[in-house]
Amino acid sequence: MPTTDTSRPRGARGEYAKSALRRQEILDAALTVFAASGYRNASVREIADRIGITQQGLTYHFPTKDALLAAVLRARGERDRALFEADAQGPESHLRAVLELLERNQATPGLVELHCTLSAEATSADHPAHEYFQERYAGILGRTRQVFEELRAQGRLREGADPGRCARALVALMDGLQVQWLLSGKQVDMVADVRAHLASVTTLDLS
């Protein structure tokens, strides 16, 4: 569902003035609220209140709650994709980008909470973002696996390490640390822990 284009307002000549700003305001507020409460527990009204319009006013920009979620996820996806496409020059720079992403996440708790809450929620087959997360994880795991395969080809993977396993472990470690980070009041240094893990699996120096 989050793949559909869900925008509503369209200027007569294709240009939209205040609408684009409003939409961005809404997306920011939605991110915050979805992150704090999850999708199902969040209410459109709460999001609308946050920017000073009514629930029905918001409906003009995003006709349904699902459409709003889809837009939020699409925005996040684009942001993250930009980071990784920029440094696609090899396995080492990819892993550096991962650490960079983690660093950035540590500065934006809202995004981490969003991912944490939604990915767990979307585990249910009937969740509106279920397919989205299935595909997202399959994609990430596939690309990460390839990174470790390239590393192995370069002889930079430690003896006995399996690329597929390494990929799953890296992704799992990041997800799991986020829960600890959130529950501990941000007392965990996720970047340092992941860096240490990568050092135990590869011969790279990712300082």
What does the binding site for its own copies look like in residue numbers (CB under 8 A)? 36-38, 40-41, 113, 116-117, 119-124, 133-134, 137-138, 141, 158, 160-162, 165, 168-169, 171-177, 179-180, 182-184, 188, 192-193, 196-197, 199-201
Shortest approach of its own copies to residue 16 CB, angstroms? 34
The torsion angle over the Cα atoms of residues 169, 170, 173 and 176, rounded to 10 degrees, is -100
Closer CB to DNA, residue 23 or residue 145? Answer: 23
Closer CB to DNA, residue 45 or residue 79? Answer: 45
Closer CB to DNA, residue 54 or residue 123? Answer: 54
- Among positions 4, 45, 124, 192, the unique one binding DNA when judged by CB under 7 A: 45
